[in-house]
Structure 1
Amino acid sequence: MLRRFAAAALFSLAFAASALAADKPHRIAIQVDQNDPQVMNLALNNATNVIEYYRAKNEDVEIDIVTYGPGLHMLRSDTSPVQDRIRRLKDFVFPGKIQFSACGNTRQGMEKAEGHAISVVPDATIVPSGVVHLMELQEQGWSYVRP
C-alpha cells in the first residue's frame, strides 16, 4: 500500500513539474558586442532558428537581441549591414516577440567621439546600459546566448 502511495505521489509530482515547465515562457537574450557582419548575421540566424523551433511546437517565444560596444553598429541607422534582415525578422516573429536593445552608454560615447547624433533603426529601443540590461534579463530567468 505504501509503495502504491509513493508511486502515485511521484507520478503526481512529475506531472505537476511537466505542467509547470510547459507554462514557463521561452525567453532568450542574444548578445552582440562586435562590429562584425558575420556575428550579426549569426545572432539573427540564432533568433530565426529559435522562432521556427517554438513555432513548430505551437509555443510562443520572446527574444531580445542586446547590442553594446562595437556591436551597436548592428542597430545604427547609418552603419547597420543587417537592417533589412532586422525588419523582416520583426515581421516574421509573430505571434512571438522580438526586441532589439541598443546600449545608451555606447551610443553616448559614439556621439561624443563622432561629434554628431546617432540614430538607431526604427525597430530598436535604447536601454541605459546593454550590459546591465543583459544582467537584469538573466536575473529574470532569461536564457543567454553569445554567438
Structure 2
Amino acid sequence: MNLNKVKIALFATTLFFSLGAGATQSLLQGYSYDHPKLIHDLPFAKHHAVLQVSQDDPELWNLTLNNATNMLQYFGEDKVQIVVVAYGPGLKMLLKDSPVAKRLQTLDAQGVEFDACNVTLQGMAKKLGHVPELAPESVIVPGGIIRIMQLQQHGYNYIKP
C-alpha cells in the first residue's frame, strides 16, 4: 500500500471517530477513480451534473443550490443525478453551521450529493488544530478536483455557477 493511501486511511479513521459514527459519510475507503461511487443510487437518471463550489461566498452557494433545485424541478428527482463538489474556500458551504445547512438537508433528501474535498479538510484541520464539523449530508472524497474530473470522465455535465 503506498504512503498516500495509508495517510488517507488514517485521516479517514481519525475523522470518523472525531465526528462520531454516522455524522458524515466517506468514499475514501476503496476509492477507485475508474469506478465512481455515489451515495444516492438513481438508476433511472438520464441526466448527470456536477456543480463546483470553490469560493467562500454564501450568495454563490445559494445560486448553486438554486441551480440544483431548478434541475430537479425540470427533469424530476429520479431523472437527474446531481453532485455538488466543494473544495478550497468553498468547503465552508458544507460545514455544520453553514448559512445554507437547512437547504443541504432538503436537497439531500431529494437525491443531491454533497462532496467534501478531503485535501481541503486536512488543510483546515491543520490550520484550526481540529477537524471542522461537516454537515451530516456531506460525503468526504479524496479531492474536489479529482472528483470533478472523475465525474466528467463518466459523462457528467460540469457546471460552475
- The TM-score with structure 2 as length reference comes to 0.70
Q: Distance in 1 between the 2:143 and 2:158 partners?
A: 16
Q: What amino acid is aligned across from residue 71 of structure 1 in structure 2?
A: G
Aligned residues: 118
Match of 1:8 in 2: none
Partner of 2:105: 87
Match of 1:69 in 2: 88
* Superposed CA offset, 1:118-142 (max 9, x none): 1211111000100000000000010
What is the identity, as a one-letter code, of the residue corresponding to 1:84? K
Q: Aligned-pair distance for 1:24?
A: 7.4
1:15 is matched with: none
Matches within 5 A, 1:94-133: 97-133=111-147
SS state of the match for residue 116, structure 1? coil
Q: CA deviation at 1:59?
A: 5.8
Runs of 4+ aligned residues of structure 1 deviating over 2 Å after TM superposition are none
Return the index of the structure with the highest Cα Rg: 1
Q: Which runs of 5+ in 1 are unaligned?
A: 1-22
- Show CA shifts across 1:61-117 (max 9, x none): 100000000000000114x110011112223x2xxx310000000000000011112
Amino acid across the alignment from 1:39: L
**In the TM superposition, what whole-angstrom CA distance separates every residue of 1:10-46 from its partner, at most 9, and x where no partner exists?**
xxxxxxxxxxxxx872010000000100010000000
Measure, in 1, the Cα distance between the counterparts of 2:78 and 2:45.
Answer: 10
Would you say the 8 A contact 2:117–2:144 is kept in 1? Answer: yes
- 5 Å-filtered alignment, 1:1-147, equals 25-55=46-76, 60-78=79-97, 80-91=98-109, 93=110, 97-147=111-161
In 1, Cα distance between the equivalents of 2:154 and 2:107? 24
Structure 1: how far apart are the matches of 2:102 and 2:151?
26
